[in-house]
Structure formats: structure tokens, C-alpha cells
Amino acid sequence: MTSIEYQPGIRTCKYYIVEVEQMRETEISIKGEGGKKITLLLPDKRNNDTDGLAEVGIVKSVPVGHSEELIGKKIRFWFLNTDFTMKSGIEIEGHVLVPEYDIIQVEDKMYGDWVYCKTIPKKHGIVYAPTIQQISYDSMEKPVEEWSSHYIDKGVVDRENKHYPVGTPIFWGNPANVRQKWDNGFLLRTRYIQATGEGVLNVNYIRN
């Protein structure tokens, strides 16, 4: 890996250079006796290698040939690129390298083909019917059973984007095609959207 210092005007051929406050979360705050805030240092190594990676930063440079409209703007990006930057390519202290297709949000608007949906409560009459799924956070461990009170195969567009008006019901089907619990909702790419409109509220994903 080549390690360099950031200099104004530096550009790469493929990546946005994004300034981040820290590469990983290093501290956690908890509430102690009497509501007093206690700050604890996190261990250097955790079971989840991607937990706590930076995913928010300020664009300092755009790739050669790209529009400079994003320079200086706050973006959210697919967090795995932080891990990529730390392990290969060029390392720029205090910065990560992000390809354009992994920019999720610019300021308060979704970017590219990303769409954000809020959850839809799974309610039948006055009773909430839980959704049960098997999730594996670690390939070395058995999947765990997770319950939720909302649908995991559909949602409602809840943030401005280039593709669908806010309030549009979206059906994506397979829950594996979305990032769950992203800002308490769902993050997905448009290519995984199967159907839209009020009718999708009555459609359910059936695993073959």
C-alpha cells in the first residue's frame, strides 16, 4: 500500500477523496448512575470487521473528468469502502476513497440509483403480526432468529431521490436485496425494485 498526505488539488482516476473524522468508532458513550455520561474506549478488534466503519464524510476531490459539484458537500457512502481503503490501494490519512456508484446520499437527498424506504407496520386489524427471519452476522456462527413488527419485503419511499416520489410504496421481495435498519428503514438500489404502487401493500414475498 502507498501512504500519502492529502494535498489540495490531488485527484485520482476513479475515486472521490472523502475526508472523514475517523476511520472507525473508537469510543462509546453509556449512561451511568444518576444519568451521568460515561465514555468507554472500544477494543481494537471486534468480531464484526466492518462494525463502526466510517460512512459519512466531506468530498474534497472528484475523479478526473467528473463534475466538481460535490466538492465540499457532506455525503454518506457504502461503508465497506472504508475497509477497502485501509487494506489496499492508496492510503490518505484522514480520508477514504469512494467510487461514484457507492455514494448513497448527498446532504439530505439520495444519490444515483439508491432509494430509502421507511418501514410499513405489519398489522392485521388491531393485531401486529411479527415477521420472523433467520439472519447470520458471522459466517462462523449459526443464523439467529430475528423478529420485527414490520414487513421486510416492502416499504414506502421516504427520502427525495431521482426515481420515485416520496410516499411511493415499493416492493423488492427478497429481504436479502436490501440493507435493513439503515436509518431505521431500508436502503436499496433501484435494480432490486420489483413493483410499485398501492397494490404492493397486498403482495408478499414467497421464498421458492
Residue 93 pLDDT grade (very low, low, confident, very high; cuts 50, 70, 90): confident
Q: Are 128 and 121 in contact (CB under 8 A)?
A: yes
> Do 82 and 31 share a structural domain?
yes
Query: Of 24-28, 29-33, 198-202, which gets the smallest average pLDDT?
Result: 24-28
- Give Cα 12 to chain centroid, integer Å: 24
**The domain boundary residue, chosen from 107, 137, 168:** 107
Is 122 found in the same domain as 102? no
Distance of alpha carbon 69 from alpha carbon 84, whole angstroms: 25
Q: 157 and 89: one domain?
A: no
- Mark which of 89, 107, 125 sits at the end of a domain: 107
17 located within any domain = yes
User: Quick check: pTM over 0.85?
Assistant: no
Q: Are residues 26 and 55 in the same domain?
A: yes
Q: What is the CATH number of the domain that holds 73?
A: 2.30.33
Same domain, 34 and 123: no
Q: Is residue 73 part of a domain?
A: yes
Domain boundary among the residues 77, 107, 137 is at 107
Domain limits at 189? 114-202
Residue 29: pLDDT band by 50, 70, 90 thresholds?
confident
Q: What pairing do the DSSP bridges indicate for beta strands 154-157 and 123-124?
A: unpaired
Q: Distance between the two ends of the chain, CA-based, in angstroms?
A: 44
Sort strands 90-92 and 2-4 into parallel, antiparallel or unpaired: parallel
* Ramachandran angles phi, psi of 33, nearest 5°: -60, 135
pLDDT at 14: 86
User: Rounded to whole angstroms, how far apart are CA atoms 119 and 117?
Assistant: 7
d(CA 142, CA 16): 38
**Is residue 15 located within the same domain as residue 79?**
yes
Q: Which of 205, 159, 149 is nearest to 182 (CA)?
A: 159
Position 30 scores a pLDDT of: 75
Q: Are residues 132 and 196 in the same domain?
A: yes
The whole-number pLDDT of residue 35 equals 79
Q: State the Rg of the chain over Cα.
A: 20
**Among 157, 160, 162, which Cα is nearest to 200's?**
157
% the chain with pLDDT above 90: 40
Structural domain total, the chain: 2
What average pLDDT does the segment 170-184 reach? 91
Query: In terms of domains, do 130 and 197 share one?
Result: yes
